C-alpha cells in the first residue's frame, strides 16, 4: 500500500471538490459512489475524504465528459485501468480516447500500443489526446499539480505542496476561497484584486464561475 501523501492525506470533502470543479455536489457524490472511480478515504460524509489524487481524478473525468464520453464508458474503462495499474492509473502517456472509449497504452518504450481499456481490443486508430493536459507531472510520471479548468482562462491550480492543497491562483498564490470570501463580504472587485495580488479579470472570472454554479 502506498505511503505517498498525494494518495493518503485527505484534503477535500466531496462538496469542496465539487465547488472547485464547478459541478453540482450530487454529481461528484455519484462519481464517488461508483466502485473504483475516485480515490476516497475513510471518514464521515462531510469531512475531507478526497486526497489530492482524488481531485485530479475528478478533474480528469470532468474533461472526459466534456469530450463526449459516457459515464458508462468512463466507469468500465477506468475500472480496468485501475485493475491493471493501481495507483499509477493516471501515469503520464498511458491514456487516450477515441471519442467513445478510454484507450490504454501499456507498451514500455518504442511505439505506443493502444488498446481499448474495457476489453483490451487492440489496434485502435484515431487516438485523441484526452483531458490530461491540466495535469502537471512529477519526475515519477504521476500527477503533482492539476489545473482546475472550471476557472477558464484564469490559471487556478491545486498542488499538495502549496496552501495545503487548496486551489490557488498561479500568478500570486492567492487562495481562491480567500478571493471569494472578500467578494462575498462586499469588497469591490478592484479592491479584492489589489489585496490578493491578482488581476481584476481573474477575480471576475473566479466570481463568475461560482455565480453560474449557484444559479
Q: Given a cut of 90, is residue 33 above it in pLDDT?
A: no
Q: How far apart are CA 189 and CA 202, in angstroms?
A: 10
Q: How far apart are CA 152 and CA 202, in angstroms?
A: 9
Q: How far apart are CA 14 and CA 153, in angstroms?
A: 24
Read off the pLDDT of each residue in 165-176 and give the average, rounded to a whole number: 95
- Render pLDDT for 40-64 as a digit per residue (tens, 0 to 9): 999 887 899 999 999 999 999 999 9
Q: Write down the pLDDT at residue 126.
A: 63
Enter the DSSP assignment of 122: B
Q: Sorting pLDDT into bands at 50, 70 and 90, what band is 214? A: low
The SS3 of residue 55 is helix
pLDDT, the chain, mean: 90
Under 8 Å between Cβ of 82 and 89: yes
Strand partners, 145: 136
Give the closest residue to 170 by CA, choosing from 190, 196, 188. Answer: 196
Q: Write down the pLDDT at residue 30.
A: 87
- Render pLDDT for 173-204 as a digit per residue (tens, 0 to 9): 999 999 999 999 999 999 999 999 999 999 99
Read off the pLDDT of each residue in 120-138 and give the average, rounded to a whole number: 80
Residues 6 or more apart whose Cβ sits within 8 Å of residue 27: 18
Residue with grid cell 483490451, as numbered in its chain = 120
Under 8 Å between Cβ of 160 and 9: yes
pTM comes to: 0.91
Q: Given a cut of 80, is residue 102 above it in pLDDT?
A: yes
Q: Write down the pLDDT at residue 1.
A: 63
Amino acid at each position: 500500500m502506498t505511503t505517498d501523501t498525494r494518495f493518503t492525506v485527505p484534503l477535500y470533502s466531496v462538496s469542496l471538490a465539487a465547488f472547485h470543479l464547478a459541478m453540482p455536489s450530487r454529481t461528484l457524490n455519484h462519481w464517488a459512489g461508483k466502485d473504483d472511480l475516485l480515490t476516497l478515504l475513510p471518514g464521515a460524509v462531510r469531512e475531507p475524504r478526497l486526497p489530492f489524487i482524488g481531485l485530479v481524478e475528478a478533474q480528469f473525468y470532468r474533461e472526459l465528459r466534456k469530450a463526449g464520453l459516457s459515464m458508462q464508458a468512463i466507469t468500465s474503462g477506468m475500472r480496468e485501468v485501475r485493475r491493471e495499474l493501481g495507483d499509477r492509473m493516471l501515469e503520464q502517456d498511458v491514456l487516450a480516447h477515441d471519442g467513445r472509449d478510454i484507450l490504454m497504452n501499456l507498451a514500455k518504450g518504442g511505439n505506443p500500443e493502444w488498446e481499448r481499456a474495457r476489453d483490451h481490443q487492440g489496434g485502435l486508430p484515431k487516438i485523441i489526446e484526452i483531458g490530461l493536459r491540466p495535469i502537471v507531472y512529477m519526475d515519477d510520471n504521476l500527477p503533482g499539480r492539476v489545473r482546475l479548468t472550471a476557472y477558464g482562462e484564469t490559471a487556478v491550480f491545486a498542488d499538495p505542496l502549496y496552501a495545503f492543497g487548496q486551489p490557488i491562483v498561479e500568478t500570486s498564490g492567492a487562495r481562491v476561497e480567500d478571493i471569494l470570501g472578500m467578494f462575498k463580504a462586499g469588497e469591490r472587485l478592484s479592491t479584492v484584486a489589489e489585496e490578493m495580488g491578482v488581476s481584476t479579470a481573474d477575480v471576475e472570472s473566479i466570481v463568475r464561475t461560482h455565480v453560474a454554479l449557484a444559479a
